[in-house]
Amino acid sequence: MANRREKHGASTGQRRRSGDEIRPFRIEIPQADLDDLHDRLAHTRWPEELPGGDWSRGVPLGYLKELADYWRTGYDWRQQEALINQFSQFTTTIDGQNIHFLHVRSPEPNAAPLILTHGWPGSVVEFMQVIEPLADPRAAGGDPADAFHVVIPSLPGFGFSGPTHEVGWNTTRVARAWAELMRRLGYEHYGAQGGDFGALVSPELGRIVPDRIIGVHVNAASVGFIPLGPVDEADLAALTDTEKARLERTNNFRTEEFGYNMLQSTRPQTVAYALTDSPVGQLAWIVEKFKAWTHPAADLPESAVDRDQMLTDVMFYWLTRTAGSSADIYYENTHTGAWAPLTPSKVPTGVATFAVDVSIRRFAERSNNIVWWSDFDRGGHFAAMEAPDLLVGDIRAFFRSLR
């Protein structure tokens, strides 16, 4: 499936108009950029560390030294680059912004289009294990009636979409861009799925073009799916033990893990200098979240995700110099009111809640038309990497109910 290299547009029926150009794309990083990374890693200026060396103050020195050494001497970017380049990739310009995306058409003639959206600190790399099962379920031992034409864009300011060049790229503007992207691809009706920021963009897409959206499926959902303020006594009394545990995780997150959010929501440009200049800084900034947000949250992030795939995700930030522009989406959402109460959506919405997710149905129903809800006892924030079988199964089942 991954090796099929169709000429783009041969069977999509897309309608072109002036300025709609879609350009084939392959990732081809200059060797000089990789050599520069290796040199920087070799000459890292390491900080001191207090006794103990656990994760309570951040990434432990010993762990990060070992991981950075593996990144420099054991990790093979060219191998990862080739794996990603098996999938058809393109770029197009929407609303003045370059948009990079994967587009993998299913061999099944009745496949439904599906746009998948990642979040932070994710990238299109998150979806590598779910593309083929979604696009060609027959080859994966599934029902061909569950097939999708898969579209996976890089958020503006992330990865090979490159930095944003003007203010205002909040999740609402991204959703408008996705609607235009799907129009250019000739898809009149389609599903939307996403986690983290993707769980904001996908429902918003349903609010912007509700007549085109078959359904919205989310994981790692927060805004619009959790209480943003104090919970009143009536709601609290009605919560199940599982939901109370999710509320407690939300409260703990706000007190113990919200620092990155505050920095990126208020001073993304300042953060950009450190992360763009220091690969170890960029590595630590992202790897801490893989440790904190995966399940099981064991001694190492690699307990939950593949080490090479995690480093490839880091590379998408490092090689494209998008540490600052990816942080800008936090600033834009905070300063343009995108976190404000959401307009209720009538689009059928499904929620997959993995072991460390925090969504609570009674709050999600206040701004979403919840018709599907799944709870899983494994997997976490990066579900497509941690539990791809569960995520694929839930996406298939949700949209099967709507076809």
Catalytic residues: 196, 330, 381
- Secondary structure (H, E, C), 237-285: HHCCHHHHHHHHHHHHHHHHCCHHHHHHHHCHHHHHHHHHHCHHHHHHH
Per the DSSP assignment, residues forming a β-bridge with 352 are 219, 374
DSSP reduced 3-state for 103: strand
Backbone dihedral region of 311: left (phi > 0), alpha (psi from -120 to 50 degrees) or beta?
alpha
Helix (H, G, I), strand (E, B) or coil at 5: coil
Distance between start and end Cα atoms, the chain: 23
Nearest partner of 368 among 194, 226, 171, judged by Cα: 226
Please state whether 157 falls in left (phi above 0), alpha (psi between -120 and 50) or beta: left
- CB neighbour burial string for 303-335, b if at least 16 within 10 angstroms, e if fewer: ebbebbbbbbbbbbbbbbebbbbbbbbbbbbbe
d(CA 333, CA 21): 29
The residue to which tokens 């289009």 are assigned: 113
Handedness of CA 364, 367, 373, 376 (dihedral sign): negative
Token duo for residue 399: 């949209």
